[in-house]
Structure 1
Amino acid sequence: MSSQLRSSLALQGVQLLDGLPPARLEALAQVCRWRTLPAGRLLVQRAERESDVHFVISGELRVTIFALNGRQLTFREVGAGGQFGELAAIDGEPRSADVLTLRPSVVASLRAADFLALMREEPVVNERVLRGLCHLVREVSERVIELSTLGVQNRVHAELLRLAREAGCQDNKARLDPAPTHSDMASRISTSREQVTRELNALQARGLLAKEGRALLLHDVDQLARMVSELRGAPAQPAAS
């Protein structure tokens, strides 16, 4: 791996480290372990005793769990500029999920002791970590409610709404490009690919969804939000303009 890739330049794109002085970034670059990984490589295994924090320099990784029955439950994808592994670094407990590469990726891994020292010495990093963990708790809580209270049809609606808001909404519409595969959606909401396909076809028949090449177009995000909120018992949040 080139010395330039190992330098502070590569860490400048990590959101958690944004704004840190160049000298601090250079020091972090030197103590990180740098790896170039092919697609499909398992980087972190659930229940293992490994506590590094991993910064994604390029590529994309998936945080997921493989159940004994073979079913996969996906929590999130982490792209360039993101990080994962804070929980094990902070509490010293085993890993809570598997993490594998979706695409060829470059990852810089920081030992737990160095990460905890960074949090103590850099208040802005400490605050970002706390905010990130709060967001994670809220997201997991929402997922638990969906999995325990919503049927498959409504879980598909909720996942589409989440993806639409992540992609950005304009004029009550959203474009998912590239569209998530039916298998990926199924792994996110704990169901089968066939059930996802069935419900997406139903939404297309109602005119709420359309295919356009590799993309999915959502024509009425507010309607989708109302469909989800009616079952959650919470007010619908309108699509951003």
Structure 2
Amino acid sequence: MSLIRSSLGLRSVKLFEGLPPGRLDALAQACRWRSLPAGRSPVQRSVRESDVHFVISGQLRITYFAFGGRQLTFREVGAGEYFGELAAIDGQPRSADVLTLQDSVIASLDATAFRALLRDEPAVAERVMLGLCRLVREVSERVIDLTTLGVQNRVHAELLRLAREAGCADNRARLDPAPTHAELASRISTTREQVTREINALQVRGLLAKDGRALVLGDVDQLARMVMQVRGAETT
């Protein structure tokens, strides 16, 4: 599909907030624009391709497909976000697979132009550094959870993370649409059946309820205390 290279699409990318219109216009022209249907993989692990990709619309999943078909999901990115900065910075092969969950439009900037942008725009460089710090902290927390927590506790921790992403109000959070049990399993390296058992247990305890396509967490503070207790952290 032919797309118009317009800075209007890049204005929604948080990384570029505050850049002057002329700079955005130049970036729009430098990018390669693509419209991708759901189920397409624009980035594959181990491939030497180093573009940085900006999500104009849609949603994509950063994941890892192991031998035998097992999947481990790292995160999801939506409109206004970006991915691919690691390979652009260090020149190494891709570390994960990317899959479109919805029809998506992405604008891709080659590594040389991206590094020049970081040199020329300190505010953009700072945002990239902060993003990398968040990524390291998230990965570190996940590694600790995977190596120290049982499946039950990993389900609790992932639901708590999703609740905080969705936003909490009056000690409640609504996940709409709710992640499937298979999606939760791919996030915490377990099986769908184990996730189903723990979801049912949380419903019996009254901490979780179904509401159409959504899941409602009725006591986020209690869930947080459960997670912090097994992590050995203070609950304040």
Provide the residue aligned with 2:158 in structure 1. 159
- How far the C-alpha of 1:69 sits from its partner, in A, is 2.3
Question: What is the letter of the counterpart of residue 141 of structure 2?
Answer: E
Matched, 1:195 2:197: no
Provide the residue aligned with 2:20 in structure 1. 21
Provide the residue aligned with 1:176 in structure 2. 175
What SS is found at the alignment partner of 2:42? strand
Over aligned residue pairs, what C-alpha RMSD do you find? 0.8
What SS is found at the alignment partner of 1:43? coil
Provide the residue aligned with 1:92 in structure 2. 91
Provide the residue aligned with 1:139 in structure 2. 138
Provide the residue aligned with 1:227 in structure 2. 226
Separation in structure 2 between the aligned mates of residue 82 and residue 88 of structure 1, nearest angstrom: 17
Provide the residue aligned with 2:9 in structure 1. 10
The superposition leaves residues 176-222 of structure 1 with CA deviations (integer Å, 9 ceiling, x where unpaired) of: 11111111100000011111111000000000000000111101101
Contact 2:3 2:33 in 1 (8 A): no
Structure 2 length-normalised TM: 0.98
Provide the residue aligned with 1:35 in structure 2. 34
- Gaps of at least 5 residues in structure 2 are none
Question: What is the letter of the counterpart of residue 13 of structure 2?
Answer: V
The superposition leaves residues 18-76 of structure 1 with CA deviations (integer Å, 9 ceiling, x where unpaired) of: 11000000000001000000000011010100000000000001000001121100000
Separation in structure 2 between the aligned mates of residue 111 and residue 197 of structure 1, nearest angstrom: 42
Question: What is the letter of the counterpart of residue 114 of structure 1?
Answer: A
What SS is found at the alignment partner of 1:44? coil
Separation in structure 1 between the aligned mates of residue 213 and residue 9 of structure 2, nearest angstrom: 31
What SS is found at the alignment partner of 1:178? coil
Separation in structure 2 between the aligned mates of residue 194 and residue 95 of structure 1, nearest angstrom: 31
What SS is found at the alignment partner of 1:13? coil
What SS is found at the alignment partner of 1:77? strand
Question: What is the letter of the counterpart of residue 151 of structure 1?
Answer: G
Question: What is the letter of the counterpart of residue 67 of structure 1?
Answer: A
Provide the residue aligned with 1:116 in structure 2. 115
What SS is found at the alignment partner of 2:45? coil
Moved more, 227-236 or 59-68: 227-236
Question: What is the letter of the counterpart of residue 89 of structure 1?
Answer: A
Provide the residue aligned with 1:57 in structure 2. 56
- Gaps of at least 5 residues in structure 1 are none
Provide the residue aligned with 2:102 in structure 1. 103
Question: What is the letter of the counterpart of residue 16 of structure 2?
Answer: L
What SS is found at the alignment partner of 1:20? coil
Question: What is the letter of the counterpart of residue 172 of structure 1?
Answer: N
What SS is found at the alignment partner of 1:147? helix
What SS is found at the alignment partner of 2:229? helix
Question: What is the letter of the counterpart of residue 213 of structure 2?
Answer: R
Question: What is the letter of the counterpart of residue 60 of structure 1?
Answer: Q
Structure 1 length-normalised TM: 0.96
What SS is found at the alignment partner of 2:201? helix
**Which structure 1 residue ranges, 4+ long, deviate > 6 Å from structure 2?**
none
- How far the C-alpha of 1:2 sits from its partner, in A, is 4.2
Identical-residue share of aligned pairs (%):
75
Separation in structure 2 between the aligned mates of residue 183 and residue 174 of structure 1, nearest angstrom: 21
